[in-house]
Amino acid sequence: MNGAVDPRRRVPRTDVLLADPRLAAAGATLGRARLRAVVGDVQDRARRGEIPPEQVLAVALAELPDTAALRPVLNATGVVLHTNLGRAPLSTAAVNAVVAAAGHTDVELDLRTGRRARRGRGALAALASAVPAAGAVHVVNNGAAALALVATVLAGGGREIVVSRGELVEIGDGFRLPDLLTSTGARLREVGTTNRTSLADYAAALGPQTAFLLKVHPSNFVVRGFTAAVPVGALAGLGVPVVADIGSGLLAPDALLPAEPDAATALRAGATLVTASGDKLLGGPQAGLLLGDTELVERLRRHPLARALRVDKLTLAALEATLTGPETPTWRALRATSGALRLRTERLRDQLAAAGLKTEVVAAAAVVGGGGAPEVTLESWALALPETYAAPLRRGEPPVIGRLERGRLLLDLRCVPAEYDDAVRAAVLRVPGPWREN
C-alpha cells in the first residue's frame, strides 16, 4: 500500500462545520436539523468525489436556503389576486401586526381587569364597524369553512338547502360546492336550470325540511344570453333564512366592480347571513367572514365545529390591521392607472436598454383574479421579454413571476410595488439573453 491519504478522510467533520460562525448564524433561522441536512448532503458529495473536501464549507454556505419559510416572490403576472401566489399581499400595517402578535399577546385577556376576554374582540369589532348592517359577526379560517359551519348548524342531519342549479359552482383544484355542503349531512334541493331560475322555482321547493335558501355568487364564470336569476331581496320575501355566499370579501359597493356583490348591500336586501373570504378583495389574511342575524351568528359561534374552524392570533391581528389600517396593496393594485404603469414600464425598458438589453413595452390586460370579477379587465402595460426568460426569472432571487402570452414573457408591474422596480431590472439583467446588444 502507498502512503496516500483517502480523500474522504479530509472531509471536514460535522461538528467542525457547524461551529463556523456563518453556519451557526444560519441555524438560528433555519433550525439545526435543516442545517445539518444541508451540511450532510454536501459532505456526502465530497465523499463521492463530486467536490473537493476543501470546498465543503463554501458549498454548504452557498446552498443554504435564504429562509425556513415560504419564499417571497414579485408578482408581475398582472393577476391582482393570484391564488398560486397567496392571493392578497398584506399591508405593512397587517405585517407589523402579525410580527407583534407572534409572541405572547392579550388575545384572550383583558389587561384592564386581568380577566379572560373574548377571543379576537378587536378584529370582530373592526369587522362589525366596517359592516354596520350586520347584527353580529364571526370569523373562521376560510370561506369554505364559513359555509360548512352554516350548513352544519342549520341543515345538518338531513335538512334541505335550496339552491339554484346555476350556482352549484366548482372553484380551483377541483373543489365543488355541492360536495362541501353534502359532507355536512345536509341535503341539496336543486331548483331551476343552469341558465334560468325563477322565484317560483324556489317557492315550489319550500317545505318542512327546508333549512335555508342559498344564494351563491358564481364569481369565476359568467353565463350570457337567455338567463334569469333571483336577487337576494326577492328570496328574503319567501319567509325562510337566506344565506348569501358573496365569495370575494367586498364589504361595501365599489364603483370599480359594479357587478360584484357586497356584504352591506346583501344584508340590507334581507339576507339573514352573508359569508365571504378575507384574503380576496378585502385584501387581508385567509379567513372566512360570517355577518348577519345576531341570534344565528351566536348559534354558529357556540357550535362545537366552530372551535375546529377558529383562526389563530396571527390571523386576527392581520385582519384587524387590514380593516382599521390604510389602503391595502390589493386596492392600490386594482386602482393603479394605466398612465402611471406605462411610465414605470418605459423607465424599466430604458434602463435595460442602457445596459445593452433590448426589450419592448406592450399594452396588456390585467385581471382581478382570485375567482372574482371575471368580466373586469384592467388596462395595463407590460415589458415583453423572450419566453426563455421565464424559468431563470422564476428561479432567481428574488423570484420574478410573469405571464406567458403568444411566445413572450410579459412582466406587468401593476402588482409590483414601485420600490421593487430596481429589483426587477437587476433580475432581468442577470439572465443571459439573445437580445443583448454589445
CA neighbor of 204 nearest in space, from 155, 160, 171, 248 = 160
Percent of the chain with pLDDT over 70: 95
The per-residue pLDDT for 137 is 98
Instruction: Please report the pLDDT score of residue 8 as a whole number.
Output: 74
Mean pLDDT of 315-335: 96
Stated length of the chain = 438
Q: What is the pLDDT of residue 174?
A: 74
**Model confidence over 115-133: pLDDT tens digits?**
999 999 999 999 999 999 9
Mean pLDDT of 264-292: 97
Q: CA–CA distance from 292 to each of 231, 245, 250, 299 (Å)?
A: 17, 12, 15, 12
Cell numbers representing residue 72 in the block: 417571497
pLDDT, mean of residues 214-223: 80
Cα–Cα separations (whole angstroms), residue 106 to 74, 119, 313: 34, 9, 9
How would CATH label the architecture of 92-326?
3-Layer(aba) Sandwich (3.40)
Select 74-83+331-429's CATH number: 3.90.1150.10, 3.30.300.130, 3.90.1150.180, 3.40.50.300: 3.90.1150.180
pLDDT at residue 188 greater than cutoff 50: yes
pLDDT digits (tens, 9 = 90+) for 12-71: 888 888 888 888 888 877 888 888 988 999 999 989 888 888 888 888 888 887 665 778
Residue ranges of domains in the chain: 12-62, 74-83+331-429, 92-326
Fold agreement (74-83+331-429, 92-326):
no
338/336 Cα distance (integer angstroms): 7
Reported as a pLDDT band with limits 50, 70 and 90, residue 437 is: very low
Q: Is 296 in contact with 241 (CB distance < 8 Å)?
A: yes
Give the neighbor-by-neighbor strand order of the sheet with 273-277.
136-140, 288-292, 273-277, 242-247, 210-216, 160-164, 187-191
| Residue with the larger pLDDT of the pair 390 and 376 | 390
CA distance 269 to 234: 8
| Predicted local distance difference test score (pLDDT) of residue 60 | 87
**pLDDT value of residue 68:** 59
Please tell me the predicted confidence (pLDDT) of residue 433: 60
| Count of CB atoms situated within 10 Å of the CB of 29 | 14
Q: What is the rounded average pLDDT of the residues 240-254?
A: 94
DSSP summary character for residue 387: G
- The three-point CA angle 61-67-73 to 5° equals 115
At residue 4 the predicted structure's pLDDT band, cuts being 50, 70 and 90, is low
Q: What pLDDT, on a 0 to 100 scale, did the predictor assign at position 1?
A: 45
